[in-house]
Amino acid sequence: MRYYTAGESHGQGLVAIIEGVPAGLKVSEEQINIDLARRQSGYGRGGRQKIERDTVQVISGIRFGRTMGSPVAMIVKNRDWENWTDRMAPFGEAPLDLVREVTPRPGHADLVGALKTNTDDCRNILERSSARTTAPRVAAAGIAREFLAELGVDIFSYVVSIGSVSMREENPYMNAAQYTPLAIETSEVRCPDAEATEAMKREIDRAIKTKDSLGGTFRVVVRGLLPGVGDYAVPTERLTSTIGGALFSIPAIKGVEFGMGFECARRPGSQVHDPIELDRANAKFTRTSNNAGGLEGGMTTGMPLVVTAAMKPIPTLMQPLQTVNLDTLEVAQASKERSDVCAVPAAAVVAEGEVAFALADAYMRKFGSDNMADIKAAIKAYKQRLNTMSR
Ligand SMILES: Cc1cc2nc3c(=O)[nH]c(=O)nc-3n(C[C@H](O)[C@H](O)[C@H](O)COP(=O)(O)O)c2cc1C
Ligand SMILES: C=C(O[C@@H]1CC(C(=O)O)=C[C@@H](OP(=O)(O)O)[C@H]1O)C(=O)O
């Protein structure tokens, strides 16, 4: 299963096409809209989110709430489009008073994109490099999430740090799977720690006051995974590769750690690798720790998948950094436009979707992709074989 998207930040809307979707999968429009709303939320987001009310419109591939086995096409419309019809018109002449974007923002795609595509207007770049393009990705990921949910796999995320403020956690690779979605979703920064939530909000308030911006870290946790999904033999099918690549495809993501991640490199093997145990009651192999974060050899171990990502601070600053004016080639201040100050909680929701897609694709490679009944039958047979191997 894979998706493609098209669409710009202030165009008419954004489109996603998902192909390789199995037939017979129940899909809830309401659930996709809930995830779209979660992606729009979070303390520190800018004025644009007051304009948009993202909802999905399904164009093809779903009939009476179930997938048909054909590609699914979806649209998320931009409400802001009506304020941009002249500046973003697909055809006709540019308005005479059109303001071109000629002062590229450090940290955004503006300058390099303009050099690459031979334009003197960075708007052509920023319209597509904008993280607005993550809206249709979250909508598309709704299909992957429903697929995994039907197979007993659930995904959530939470914010671990914003700027210099971190929540306190002990052994998150083992314990993160215990957090309740309620504690996370009721926090304005999507952090399960109420005290840390307040400190993070204060950090964001400080950044607003000093005309600065913030990044942070978040974790994605997946429960209910079967062991042996993914691959050790084909480099591109290793889940470390597909999930890592999927997370790095999100704008502003600068680091990804599986389980203990970089800390593994500082410790001896005896303090890193997860001892194997036989859980006789449930006839399955298990681990006494989860420092690997649920992946070994590029495959799921059956322990929760715990992956952490780092997001850099938002590039648009209300006190802009130095840049060069592309018209005059003189020193200038970078563009200063409406912007988020911190979007870590939103990025975490996007990341849930990306992880869901990578996992759904790996499940389909292992168990088939034509229709849900065959996939479930294959999973049942696999579970039975695993049971007999651990008895
Ligand atoms: C959910 C989300 C919201 C974002 N909002 C903004 C924003 O309002 N202003 C901005 O300058 N960058 C924002 N960014 C970051 C830029 O999109 C990103 O830094 C840019 O595309 C450059 O890509 P790179 O950081 O991967 O180099 C946001 C990113 C995400 C994931
Ligand atoms: C619109 C969204 O995020 C946008 C991401 C973004 C950027 O440069 O990445 C810039 C801002 O866009 P605008 O200039 O229209 O306010 C954000 O609001 C969204 O996530 O829905």
Work out which ligand 2 atom sits closest to the CA atom of 52. Answer: 21
Q: What is the mean pLDDT of residues 116-124?
A: 97
Distance from the alpha carbon of residue 228 to the mean position of ligand 1, in angstroms: 35
Backbone dihedral angles phi then psi of residue 136, each to the nearest 5 degrees:
-65, -25
Asked whether 54 lines ligand 1 (CB < 6 A), one says no
Asked whether 122 lines ligand 1 (CB < 6 A), one says no
Ligand nearest to the CA of 109: 1
Asked whether 341 lines ligand 1 (CB < 6 A), one says no
Ligand nearest to the CA of 350: 1
* 21 Cβ contact list (under 8 Å, min separation 6): 1, 61, 67, 69, 70, 71, 72, 143
pLDDT > 90? residue 161: yes
For residues 125-138, one letter each, b for 16 or more C-beta atoms within 10 angstroms of the residue's C-beta and e for the rest, the string is bbbbbbbbbbbbbb
Give me the amino acid identity at 382: Y
Work out which ligand 2 atom sits closest to the CA atom of 134. Answer: 20
Distance from the alpha carbon of residue 126 to the mean position of ligand 2, in angstroms: 9
* Percentage of the chain exceeding pLDDT 90: 99
pLDDT tens string 47-85: 999 999 999 999 999 999 999 999 999 999 999 999 999
Distance from the alpha carbon of residue 333 to the mean position of ligand 1, in angstroms: 19
Per the listing, tokens 């998207």 go with: 5
- Kindly provide the ipTM of the predicted complex, given to two decimals: 0.98
Give the pLDDT band of residue 390 (cuts 50, 70, 90): confident
pLDDT > 90? residue 391: no
Asked whether 129 lines ligand 1 (CB < 6 A), one says yes
The annotated binding site is made up of 39, 45, 128-130, 297, 312-316, 338
pLDDT value at position 303?
Answer: 97
Give the pLDDT band of residue 44 (cuts 50, 70, 90): very high
pLDDT tens string 223-268: 999 999 999 999 999 999 999 999 999 999 999 999 999 999 999 9
Ligand nearest to the CA of 106: 1
pLDDT > 90? residue 105: yes
CB atoms within 10 A of CB 376: 15
Domain limits for position 185: 2-389
pLDDT value at position 223?
Answer: 97
Whats the size of the chain, residue-wise?
A: 391
User: How far, in Å, CA of 258 to CA of 248, rounded?
Assistant: 13
For the chain, the domain total comes to 1
Mutate to test the pocket of ligand 1, among 132, 340, 354 (most ligand atoms within 8 A of CB): 340
Ligand nearest to the CA of 253: 1
Q: Identify the residue whose C-alpha is closest to ligand 2 atom 19.
A: 132
Two structure tokens written together for 55: 């909802």
CB-based pocket (< 6 A), ligand 2: 9, 46, 48, 52, 130-132, 135, 251, 337-340
Q: Does residue 335 sit in helix, strand or coil? A: coil
Distance from the alpha carbon of residue 292 to the mean position of ligand 2, in angstroms: 35
For residues 39-66, one letter each, b for 16 or more C-beta atoms within 10 angstroms of the residue's C-beta and e for the rest, the string is bbebbbbeebbeebebebebeebbeeee
Distance from the alpha carbon of residue 89 to the mean position of ligand 2, in angstroms: 19
DSSP assignment letter at 296: E
The domain that contains 6 carries what CATH number? 3.60.150.10
